[in-house]
Structure 1
C-alpha cells in the first residue's frame, strides 16, 4: 500500500509540491484548457444547441472552481474532497460527452483526477471508470456497450487502465530515482563541505602544532649552540680579564672569545634560515625537492636520483612544507646513519593523495627501535607525528643491512586561489 501511495504522490503531486512544481501548474490549468478547447470545437464544428453547450460547460467550470481552485490547499488535497471532486467532474464530463462526443477531450481530465484518489485500488477503479466512459459514451454509454459487447469493451477498458496505470508506475519510478539521486547529491555536497571544514581545521591545527615544534626545536638549538657559545665567550672574557698582566695569555683568551662569537653568529643565521622552508619561497614543490636533492648530493657525495610522477599541481602550503620537511629529515637520517651509496627520492601526485618516498641502500635498522634524535632533528617518531597532524601516514620499511624506505602519504589538498 505504501508503494502505491508513493506512486500516486510522485505521479501527480499537489500544487505546493516543491519536487516538481510545474506539475502543480498543469494540474491547476489543464482542466480549464481542455474544457475551453472542447467547447470551442463543439461550437465551431457541431450543430448542437450553443446555449446548452455553454450552459453545460459553465457548470463544469463552476464545479472546477468550487472543488479544485478555490478551496484551501489543505482541504483540496483531502481524500474525501478529492473523491467528491472526481465524482462530480466525471459525471459532468459524461453528460458533456453525451451531448457532444468532442467533449471526450475534457473527459481526459478524469484520468488525472483519478490518479489523485486514495487509496490505490480506488485510483485504479477511477481510471477504469473514466476509460469506460470515454470509450462508450459515443455508443450510448457503458451500460449499453457492455451489454451488447461485454468482452470487447472489457478488454479495451482494462488495456487502457493498465496503460495509464503503467505510465503512472513508470513516472513514479523515475520520480523516486530522481529523488534518490537528489538526496545522494545533497548528502555528498554536505559531506564535501563538512570534509572541507575538517580539512581547514586540521590544517590550522597542524600549523599551530608546527609552530610549537619549531619553537621547541629553536629553543633546543639555542640551548645547545647559542647559549653554550655565549657561556664560552663569557668564560674566555673572564679569563682574559684575569690574565690582564700577561699580554700573550690575554690575547689568546680574547681571540678564543672572538672565534666563539663568529661561530655563534653563524649558528644564529642558520637558525633563522631554518625557521621556514626556504626552497619553497620561490619554487614549486618538485623544484624545491630537486634543489634539496642536488644540494644534499653535492654536500654528501652520495648519488641521489629524484623523480616526479603524476600531474604536479599547487597544494596547500602546509602540505608542501610538511613534505619538504619530511624529505629533509629523511635525507639527514641517511647522511648521519645509513652509510648509503645510492638514494632514490620520488614525489608522486595522485587524484586525492600526494606521496614522498625516500629509499637508500644503506645499513638499515630496526624500525621498532627508532627513537627521537638527540641532535635537534625529528627522527622517525617525530616525522610520523608531523604527518599524522595532516591526516597522513608515514611508512618505514628497513632491516639491518637491507637499506631503508620512508614513505609519507598526505591528502592532496589543493591550494585555495582567492580572487
Structure 2
C-alpha cells in the first residue's frame, strides 16, 4: 500500500517535475562516476609521469655507483659508503627520505635505515611487479610492513619501485625502492583533481540545464495541449448531451406533430360538421319544404323561403371561407420578417375588427421559411387566443433581437389564466410550444390578473445555418 501511494504521488507530478527529480539524481550519480573515473585517471597518469622522471633521475645518479649485480649478490663497503654519501648529503638527500635496494629473493641489499640491511621479507606485489620489468608508483601512506619509518614521518610520499637492468642483457638484477617527499606533487594533483571535478560538474550542469529547458518547454506544451484537450472533451461531452437532448426532443416533437395533425383534422372535421354542414343541411331541408313544392303557395311566401335558403347558403360559404383563410398561409416564404408580422396582424384586424399595436425592430435578418411560418402561426394563434379568452383588450405585438435571437411577444390586458392548466393534447398554445421547440426555440407564458404575455425566441444564427 505504501509503494502504491508513492507511485500515485509520483504519477500526480508533472512531467517536468518528474524529470527534474529523476534526471537530477541520474545526472548527479553520473557526475560522481565520471568525476571519480577522470580524477583516478588523472592521478594515475600524473603519478606515473612524475615517478618516471624521478626514477630516471635517481637511476642516473646511483647506477654508476653499483657493481655488477649479476655477479655480486652483496654490496661492498665502498659502494655502501658512496650510497650513504649520496642519500645523506648529496643531491638526493633532501628529496628522497628513504631508499632500499632489493634482491629478487626479498633480501635488502642496502637501506638508508641500516637496521634493515641483510633482512629478508616476503616479496610484495609491487616488488614482484618491479622485478617483472615494470616501474610501480603509488601516492599515499606507506602500506608495506617494513615501511614503519616512512609511515611515522606523516609526510605526503610518492612510493616508487624502479627495476635495475643489466646494461647488455636488459635483465632485471635488482629493484630500488625509494620514497620521495611529494608536497608539491600533492598540491599539483589536488589542483588537477579540483579542475577536473569543476569541468565535469560544469559540463554535467550545463547538459542538465539544457535538457531541463527542453523538457520544461515540452512539458508546458503538453500541459497546454492536455488542458485544451480536456476542455475540448468537456465541450464535446456537453455537445453530445445537447444532441441527445435535442434528439429526444425531436422525437417527442415528431410524435406530438403526428398527434397534432390528427387533432387538427378532427377539429377541421368538427368545424365543417358543426358549421357549414349544418347550414347546408338546413338549406337542403327547406328546399324540399311544401312551401316551395305546393302550387298554392303565394309568390311572396315562396320568395321569403328562397331568401331564407339563400341566406343559410351564404352563411355556410362565409364559414367555409373563414376556415380556408385560417388554413391557407399568405406568400411569406419570400417576405421579410416585418412583412410577415404585418400580414398576421392585418389578417387578425380584418377578421375581428380589433386594433392591434405593432412594434418592430429597425433591423432585419434573414430567416428560413420554417422560421417565418412558425412566427406567423405564433402571432395568429396568440392573437386568436387573446381575442377569445381576453376579449381582445389592448392587444399588442412586439418584435426585437436579443443576443442573436429573434424575440416575438404577444400581449393583452385580459383577465389572465393559469398556464399550468394548459392541456398537453390541446391544439392552441401546446401546439405552438411544440412547433417552436422543434426548431430549437424557446416558448414562455406569463399571465396574471393584469394580462397575459406569450413569448417566443428563435436563434437567427442557427436559422441562417439551416
Aligned to 1:367: 418
**Is the alpha carbon distance of 1:387 and 1:283 closer, same or farther for their aligned partners in structure 2, counting shifts above 3 Å?**
same
1:170-209 matches, within 5 Å, as 170-185=217-232, 188=235, 192=239, 195=242, 198=247, 201=251, 204-205=254-255, 207-209=257-259
Unaligned runs of 5+ in 1: 12-117
Aligned to 2:271: 221
Note the C-alpha offset of 1:357: 0.9
- The answer to whether the 8 A contact 1:316-1:416 is kept is no
3-state SS of the aligned residue for 1:308? coil
Q: Which has the larger share of helix?
A: 1
Aligned to 1:349: 401
Distance 2:40 2:315 in 1: 112
3-state SS of the aligned residue for 2:415? coil
- The answer to whether the 8 A contact 1:240-1:254 is kept is no
Q: Larger Rg: 1 or 2?
A: 2
- The answer to whether the 8 A contact 1:131-1:161 is kept is no
- The answer to whether the 8 A contact 1:302-1:341 is kept is no
**Is the alpha carbon distance of 1:187 and 1:371 closer, same or farther for their aligned partners in structure 2, counting shifts above 3 Å?**
closer
Which digits, 9 at most, give the CA deviation of each residue in 1:29-69, with x for residues without a partner?
xxxxxxxxxxxxxxxxxxxxxxxxxxxxxxxxxxxxxxxxx
Q: RMSD across aligned C-alpha pairs, in angstroms?
A: 4.6
Note the C-alpha offset of 1:267: 2.7
Aligned to 1:320: 372
1:22-41 matches, within 5 Å, as none
2:194 is the alignment partner of 1:148 = yes
3-state SS of the aligned residue for 2:462? coil
Shifted more, 305-314 versus 382-391: the winner is 382-391
1:302 maps to which of 337, 355, 370: 355
Distance 1:379 1:193 in 2: 32
Aligned residues between the structures? 302
Distance 2:40 2:438 in 1: 78
Aligned to 1:286: 338
Aligned to 2:452: 404
Question: What TM-score do you get using the length of structure 2 for normalisation?
Answer: 0.50
3-state SS of the aligned residue for 1:278? coil
Unaligned runs of 5+ in 2: 1-6, 43-190
Note the C-alpha offset of 1:314: 0.9
Q: Which has the larger share of strand?
A: 2
**Is the alpha carbon distance of 1:206 and 1:183 closer, same or farther for their aligned partners in structure 2, counting shifts above 3 Å?**
farther
Note the C-alpha offset of 1:278: 2.5
3-state SS of the aligned residue for 2:416? coil
Question: What TM-score do you get using the length of structure 1 for normalisation?
Answer: 0.55
Distance 1:277 1:389 in 2: 20
Note the C-alpha offset of 1:216: 3.3
Distance 2:404 2:256 in 1: 19
Note the C-alpha offset of 1:130: 7.9
